[in-house]
């Protein structure tokens, strides 16, 4: 008999399945043909302990040891850059843990295509690392399977009913359990509505990425990630190529996202102002969805009005870098154990909070 049904086979659902399956019988349901098809599979994730708000920072830093154990981190660094319009943001960035202001000449030594005539300030985030998303995610699915969890793809949810147990009718069959976890990412509010649970106002936002040849034929393997101070674009190495994102946040319906050509062109133009090498060719592009609550903090906990309905959603752009801590916290709450986090963090993630 199943104890827990998890809807959503991305990094949130997969990590939770690994975390709770040692102590419970778990079913993980994913609508697509493969796990991690949407946000997880399209993430250009980094480990950046200062990225996000205070709750996110706490969860990210609490995840570090798990990333080290999984051997999924590689030193990268993030180079924050400001033009005149963004210069006012740099003192706060420079004052964060592990960050240091560097000269423009030092920045140019790290990334020799920077346009110093346009750039007014630079800060290097020394603790930031590349994060191997696929290696991490596959290890979580492997652990869940080894623990006996049932993992189903092509299992789009068609109906949800509650009669003391949650009954979930899917394209792969019907499943029932006393606990239902909503880890459906961009579709989290839709799943809640289908279950008769009040939605929380979780909004998906599109973000587009282009893959370019390495600028000027440089070896970019040791370059840091570049990020504008106001996060209006970012760029980072990727297997010898160069990723550039327009860093947009355009609200959309839950969907299989694709890049908007005009939005991507505008983002590339913003990036172009900071570098000397012209963008001559885009090899390919894609987009993903980042879903947020109104206060831009994930929601983790049992719904106050629906017995056994557990929220694990709205990780926004932080889902991968917080996944070990979030899944451990969620597992503790589900299993009735005392979490390794203070009451302020738990309250800050609660679906009952004022968003």
Count up the domains in the chain and report the number: 2
pLDDT score, position 143:
98
User: Are both 147 and 282 inside the same structural domain?
Assistant: no
Q: What percent of the chain has pLDDT over 90?
A: 95
Report the largest interatomic distance among the alpha carbons of the chain, rounded to a whole angstrom. 67
User: Are both 104 and 232 inside the same structural domain?
Assistant: yes
The CATH number of whichever domain residue 253 belongs to comes to: 3.30.9.10
User: Are both 285 and 212 inside the same structural domain?
Assistant: yes
Q: What's the domain range around 342?
A: 4-43+133-202+294-349
> Which whole number is the average pLDDT over 14-34?
96
> Which whole number is the average pLDDT over 316-339?
95
Burial of residue 206, with CB atoms counted within 10 A of its CB: 0-12 exposed, 13-18 middle, 19 or more buried: buried
pLDDT score, position 1:
74
Whether the predicted pLDDT of 243 surpasses 80: yes
Reported as a pLDDT band with limits 50, 70 and 90, residue 285 is: very high
Q: Which of 290, 321, 338 is the C-terminal boundary of a domain?
A: 290
The 10s digit of each residue's pLDDT in 179-191 is 999 999 999 999 9
Whether the predicted pLDDT of 41 surpasses 70: no
User: Are both 139 and 275 inside the same structural domain?
Assistant: no
The 10s digit of each residue's pLDDT in 51-60 is 889 999 999 9
Whether the predicted pLDDT of 272 surpasses 70: yes
User: Are both 221 and 111 inside the same structural domain?
Assistant: yes
User: Are both 137 and 286 inside the same structural domain?
Assistant: no
- The CA distances from residue 93 to 196, 230, 264, in Å, are 43, 10, 26
Could you tell me if residue 54 is inside a domain?
Answer: no
User: Are both 161 and 236 inside the same structural domain?
Assistant: no
Whether the predicted pLDDT of 40 surpasses 80: no
> Which whole number is the average pLDDT over 82-106?
97
Could you tell me if residue 103 is inside a domain?
Answer: yes
Could you tell me if residue 276 is inside a domain?
Answer: yes
Question: 15, 300 in Cβ contact below 8 A?
Answer: no
The CATH number of whichever domain residue 328 belongs to comes to: 3.50.50.60
Reported as a pLDDT band with limits 50, 70 and 90, residue 317 is: confident
Whether the predicted pLDDT of 208 surpasses 80: yes
Rounded mean pLDDT of the chain? 95
Please state, as a whole number, how many other Cβ atoms lie within 10 Å of the Cβ of residue 240: 10
Q: HEC states along the chain?
A: CCCEEEECCCHHHHHHHHHHCCCCCEEEECCCCCCCCCCHHHCCCEECCCCCCHHHHHHHHHCHHHHHHHCCEEECCEEEEECHHHHHHHHHHHCCCCEEEECHHHHHHHCCCECCCCCCEEEEECCCEEECHHHHHHHHHHHHHHCCCEEECCCCEEEEEECCCEEEEECCEEEEECEEEECCHHHHHHHHHHCCCCCCCCEEEEEEEEEECCHHHCCCCCCCEEEECCCCCEEEEECCEEEEECCCCEECCCCCCCCCHHHHHHHHHHHHCCECCCCCCCCEEEEEEEEECCCCCCEEEECCCCCCEEEEECCHHHCCCCHHHHHHHHHHHHHCCCCCCCHHHHHHHCCCCCC
Whether the predicted pLDDT of 36 surpasses 90: no
pLDDT score, position 45:
78
Q: pTM value?
A: 0.95
Q: What percent of the chain has pLDDT over 70?
A: 99
User: Are both 119 and 233 inside the same structural domain?
Assistant: yes
Could you tell me if residue 72 is inside a domain?
Answer: no
User: Are both 169 and 269 inside the same structural domain?
Assistant: no
Could you tell me if residue 67 is inside a domain?
Answer: no
Could you tell me if residue 345 is inside a domain?
Answer: yes
Question: 23, 338 in Cβ contact below 8 A?
Answer: no
- What's the first-to-final CA gap in the chain, in angstroms? 36
Could you tell me if residue 58 is inside a domain?
Answer: no
> Which whole number is the average pLDDT over 189-210?
97
Could you tell me if residue 224 is inside a domain?
Answer: yes
User: Are both 142 and 23 inside the same structural domain?
Assistant: yes
Q: Which of 290, 308, 338 is the C-terminal boundary of a domain?
A: 290
User: Are both 158 and 273 inside the same structural domain?
Assistant: no
Q: Which of 290, 316, 333 is the C-terminal boundary of a domain?
A: 290
User: Are both 286 and 262 inside the same structural domain?
Assistant: yes
> Which whole number is the average pLDDT over 114-134?
96
């Amino acid at each position: 008999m199943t104890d827990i049904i998890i809807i959503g086979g991305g990094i949130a659902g997969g990590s939770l399945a690994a975390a709770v399956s040692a102590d419970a019988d778990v079913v993980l349901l994913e609508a697509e043909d493969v796990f991690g098809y949407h946000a997880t599979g399209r993430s250009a994730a980094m480990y950046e302990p200062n990225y996000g708000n205070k709750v996110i920072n706490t969860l990210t830093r609490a995840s570090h040891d798990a990333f080290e154990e999984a051997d999924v981190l590689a030193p990268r660094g993030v180079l924050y850059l400001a033009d005149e319009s963004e210069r006012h943001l740099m003192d706060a960035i420079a004052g964060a843990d592990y960050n240091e202001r560097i000269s423009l000449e030092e920045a140019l030594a790290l990334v020799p295509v920077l346009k110093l005539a346009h750039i007014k300030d630079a800060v290097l985030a020394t603790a930031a690392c590349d994060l191997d998303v696929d290696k991490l995610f596959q290890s979580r699915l492997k652990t869940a399977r080894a623990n006996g969890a049932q993992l189903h793809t092509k299992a789009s949810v068609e109906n949800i009913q509650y009669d003391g147990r949650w009954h979930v009718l899917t394209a792969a069959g019907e499943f029932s359990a006393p606990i239902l976890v909503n880890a459906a990412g961009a579709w989290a509010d839709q799943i809640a509505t289908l279950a008769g649970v009040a939605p929380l106002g979780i909004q998906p936002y599109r973000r587009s990425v282009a893959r370019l040849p390495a600028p000027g034929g440089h070896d970019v393997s040791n370059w840091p990630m570049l990020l504008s101070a106001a996060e209006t674009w970012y760029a980072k190495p990727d297997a010898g190529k160069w990723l550039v994102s327009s860093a947009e946040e355009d609200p959309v319906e839950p969907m299989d996202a694709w890049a908007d050509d005009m939005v991507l062109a505008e983002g590339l133009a913003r990036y172009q102002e900071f570098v000397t090498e012209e963008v001559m060719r885009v090899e390919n592009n894609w987009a993903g969805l980042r879903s947020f609550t109104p206060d831009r903090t994930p929601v983790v906990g049992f719904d106050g009005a629906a017995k056994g309905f557990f929220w694990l959603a709205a990780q926004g752009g932080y889902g991968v870098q917080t996944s070990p801590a979030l899944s451990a916290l969620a597992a503790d709450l589900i299993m009735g154990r005392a979490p390794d986090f203070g009451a302020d963090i738990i309250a800050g993630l609660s679906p009952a909070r004022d968003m």
